[in-house]
């Protein structure tokens, strides 16, 4: 389909014995940019307009539902038969399914941890690296289940809980309650099993740490970190930027632990599009 002149395509792709839902914006001939969401988050939190603006800047933008989120394959809540390593392999599997050899990676929180792993273990697949709201250590608080969980089968209660959680981790520019609820409703309606979506990334087997190998990263790297992030302390972002050769740290004033809000889109998009990275042809 066409959206304001941009080609937007959603499809299901086979990856490692499961199916992942993938959506692309823009022209396949442009350098690919893969958006990797945080734990328990479907692609919906990378907002449509944010993706359109990146695509308008000359990127073939790819967003996808992690397993156990959105329309991707779901497993029983509390019993995920996979590890965080598999989640990283899923990102590469999405690129493989689209015939993309290498891409600019943009990872948020857990997605940033997955992107770090890919940059360390598969450097030839990474044109550049943007790490948002992440650090040198797993976001333990994000991975810990909340003490109070709603009835995930109750749409209204679930949507209210998700919106409140996003707001609680946000900052000065976080979207208003109505906007957050619309995003949460969209994510809820696209998700096979919200209980599994909210639980399984938090209880799947962890991946071996890659911190000792961050010095081997060769991709141009941008670290974006909110100055009021209540989850990942700023010193973790500073350490991350210090340990990756040549990394550039850009504080996002007034931003919390969240997908960049609309108020900072222009600055974030300019920074991401300015990253160098030779475009390699599809395999």
Q: Looking at residue 125, which CATH number applies to its domain?
A: 3.40.50.1820
**Sheet of 6-15: strands edge to edge?**
2-3, 6-15, 18-25, 60-64, 32-36, 103-108, 126-132, 221-226, 248-252
In a domain, 279, yes or no: no
Which token pair is 37? 């969401």
In a domain, 121, yes or no: yes
**CB atoms inside a 10 Å sphere around CB 215:** 10
Helices (H), the chain: 48-56, 84-97, 110-121, 140-143, 155-169, 177-190, 194-203, 234-243, 265-274
Q: What percent of the chain has pLDDT over 70?
A: 92
Say how far apart CA 158 and CA 194 lie, in whole Å.
8
Which one, of 142, 146, 181, 141, lies nearest residue 162 by Cα? 181
Q: What is the DSSP letter of 99?
A: T
The residues that bridge with 129 in the sheet, in sequence order, are: 105, 221
Which token pair is 245? 């050769």
What per-residue confidence (pLDDT) applies to 145? 46
Q: What is the DSSP letter of 205?
A: B
Among 89-103, 128-142, 202-216, which is the least confidently predicted range? 128-142
Q: Domain count for the chain, please give it.
A: 1
In a domain, 181, yes or no: yes
CA geometry: angle 23, 281, 269, nearest 5 deg: 50
> Which residues form the domain of 147?
2-274
In a domain, 220, yes or no: yes
pLDDT digits (tens, 9 = 90+) for 73-127: 999 999 999 999 999 999 999 999 999 999 999 999 999 999 999 999 999 999 9
| Residue whose tokens read 């273990």 | 121
In a domain, 85, yes or no: yes
Q: Please say if the pLDDT value at position 278 is more than 70.
A: no
Calculate helix-pair angle for 48-56, 265-274, nearest 10 degrees. Answer: 40
**CB atoms inside a 10 Å sphere around CB 186:** 16
What per-residue confidence (pLDDT) applies to 8? 79
| Confidence grade of residue 148 (pLDDT, cut at 50, 70, 90) | confident
Q: What is the DSSP letter of 154?
A: -
Helices (H), 144-176: 155-169
| Confidence grade of residue 1 (pLDDT, cut at 50, 70, 90) | low
Q: Please say if the pLDDT value at position 275 is more than 80.
A: yes
Residue positions annotated with a catalytic role: 109, 229, 257
């Amino acid at each position: 389909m066409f959206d304001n002149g941009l080609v937007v395509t959603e499809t299901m792709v086979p990856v490692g014995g499961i199916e992942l839902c993938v959506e692309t914006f823009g022209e396949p001939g442009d350098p690919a940019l893969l958006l990797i969401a945080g734990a328990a988050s479907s692609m919906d939190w990378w907002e449509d307009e944010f993706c359109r603006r990146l695509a308008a800047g000359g990127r073939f933008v790819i967003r996808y539902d992690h397993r156990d989120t959105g329309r991707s394959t779901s497993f029983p809540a509390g019993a995920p038969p996979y590890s965080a390593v598999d989640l990283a392999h899923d990102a590469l599997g999405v690129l493989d399914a689209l015939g993309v050899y290498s891409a600019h990676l943009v990872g948020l929180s857990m997605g940033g941890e997955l992107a770090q792993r890919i940059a360390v273990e598969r450097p030839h697949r990474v044109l550049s690296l943007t790490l948002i709201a992440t650090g040198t250590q797993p976001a333990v608080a994000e991975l810990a289940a909340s003490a109070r969980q709603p009835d995930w089968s109750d749409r209204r209660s679930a949507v209210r809980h998700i919106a409140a959680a996003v707001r609680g981790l946000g900052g000065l520019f976080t979207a208003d309650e109505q906007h957050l609820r619309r995003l949460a409703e969209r994510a809820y309606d696209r998700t096979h099993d919200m209980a599994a979506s909210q639980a399984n990334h938090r209880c799947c087997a962890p991946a071996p740490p890659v911190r000792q190998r961050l010095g081997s990263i060769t991709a141009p790297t941008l670290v974006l970190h909110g100055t009021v992030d209540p989850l990942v302390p700023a010193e973790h972002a500073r350490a991350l930027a210090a340990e990756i050769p040549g990394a550039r740290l850009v504080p996002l004033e007034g931003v919390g632990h969240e997908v960049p809000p609309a108020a900072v889109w222009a600055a974030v998009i300019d920074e991401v599009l300015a990253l160098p990275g030779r475009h390699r042809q599809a395999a």
